[in-house]
Amino acid sequence: MGLIQNVLAVIVVLGLLITFHEFGHFWVARRCGVKVLRFSVGFGKPIWSRRDRHGTEFVVAAIPLGGYVKMLDEREAPVPPDQRERAFNAQPVWQRIAIVAAGPLANFLLAIVVYWALFVAGTTAVVPVVGNVSPDSPAARAGLSGGEEIVAVRGETVRSWDQINLKLVAAIGANGELSLQARDDAAAAPREYRLPVEDFLVRQDPPRPLATLGITPWQPDIPAVLGQVMDGEAAAEAGLEPGDEVVAVDGEPVADWMDFVNRVRTSPGESLSLDVARGEERLELTLTPGAREIEDGTTIGYVGAGVEPVAWPDEYRREIRYGPVAAVGQALGRTGEMTLLTLDAIRKMLVGLISPSNLSGPITIAQLAGDTARTGLESFVSFLAYLSISLGVLNLLPIPVLDGGHLLYYFVEALRGRPVSERTQAVGLRIGLALVVTLMVMALYFDLMRLW
């Protein structure tokens, strides 16, 4: 069932993002007088098509991993003399720039609209209260203690753990000190803490900013009750079911969910005797965790089970909501912040501060889409907005084959007063295609490694 949900979620996400992207090209091309021959969502054999009164064929194709807008163009096929003025290549360079740039800009616009809707509807966040601080960690050396609420990171106000993580990830590679502001309660004045860091988060895969600083978020007591059991994994094979509570392992009582997780992680391949409460019934089951190697070479146990969610106390939950006008500024700010974060991540990956293994391909996107869909509508649409921004940024990179490569040629043409030679464009096309294929293969490889 999880696989089906993942596939459906990624089809919905990619279908929407691609449709919006291609509609940007289509809408501006029409406004510039260019004849659009085909608007396709997906590649391969059409499974649905219709033609409008302008002669444009709208197609939904069998492979939902892309799309395109095909315009009348003398470089691709002969154009009748009476239609030449409607060909893409016959348009002034600034109109061609507008048509090409419209696709990525449509993705940014979609993200702004989605964030605006989220801010107007209101989002629920967990108040960023520190639970524990690890001894001799950067947070401990700075004097931060449990029970304090973090209110600012590097001088910027934060209201949730999500915002804190974004600010900290943006500091990858930092040396010296990271400043946090925290307070004991809502009435107290914030105190500033300076956390010593060196090569912060460099080459971590994935980055773990809070753990690296020694900060554990506060959370309510979570009993060892299973919420999900994955088919074919150790927990299912042992006979565990959603709703089961693990009372003891090898005769020793289990304090909470993390206690159970720690015992599983330290017992790869070992048989564990479980005392399980299933309603009024008491069961004895044998669980043998599988073995999985993590990035530092350590082998840990895993069983393929998730915890049953618990209700958070009201004082630890916060609703973030804005009026329709104020939400516009917030949506623009969030889109700009995520755009800069994506660009900075690309830069840091190129200079070696971020591991290339953080690249994600269709498998990881499908998993994330499915996970956020199961978590709730708010998480799903937030993921959609971020993916839309990523798609817009990547398409604007100056790599031939992508929109950004075409824009590069057209800006050069605007400056020189004549087009870039076909020979140069052909060489660039081959280089760009090689780069894109290499990135796709790397992303797929890292997807498979994460899946394995």
Q: Tens digit of pLDDT per residue, the chain (452 long)?
A: 456 766 777 777 888 888 899 999 999 999 999 999 999 988 888 899 999 998 899 999 888 777 889 999 988 888 888 899 999 999 999 999 999 999 999 999 999 999 999 999 988 888 999 999 999 999 999 999 999 999 999 999 998 888 898 899 888 888 999 999 999 887 788 999 999 999 898 877 778 899 999 999 998 888 999 998 988 889 999 999 999 999 999 999 999 998 999 999 999 999 999 999 998 899 999 999 988 876 556 788 889 998 888 888 888 888 889 999 999 999 999 999 999 988 988 888 888 787 777 777 666 766 666 667 666 777 888 888 999 999 999 999 999 889 999 999 999 999 998 988 888 888 988 998 898 888 888 877 776 776 66
Residue 177 in tokens: 């000190």
pLDDT at 1: 46
Homologous superfamily of 130-217: PDZ domain (2.30.42.10)
pLDDT at 295: 59
Paired strand residues for 278: 281
pLDDT at 393: 93
The predicted model scores a pTM of 0.79
What's the N-to-C CA distance of the chain in angstroms? 19
pLDDT at 374: 64
Give start-end residues of each CATH 2.30.42.10 domain in the chain: 130-217, 226-305
pLDDT at 378: 79
Helix, coil or strand: residue 127: coil
With 0-12 CB in 10 A as exposed, 13-18 as middle and 19+ as buried, what is 312?
middle
pLDDT at 452: 61
**Which residues belong to the active site?**
22
Give every CB contact of residue 46 below 8 A, 6+ residues apart in sequence: 40, 59, 60, 61, 62
Q: How far apart are CA 293 and CA 305, in angstroms?
A: 18
- Check if the beta carbon of residue 384 is closer than 8 Å to that of residue 13: yes
Considering Cα of 164, then 170, then 172, then 174, what sign does the dihedral take?
negative
Q: How many other C-beta atoms are found inside a 10 Å radius of the C-beta of residue 421?
A: 9
Please state the φ and ψ torsions of residue 67, each to the nearest 5 degrees.
175, 170
Paired strand residues for 320: 123
Say whether the peptide bond before residue 209 is cis (omega within 30 degrees of 0). Answer: no
CATH for the 226-305 domain, from 2.30.130.10, 2.30.42.10, 3.90.550.10, 3.40.50.2300: 2.30.42.10
Residue 89 in tokens: 């290549």
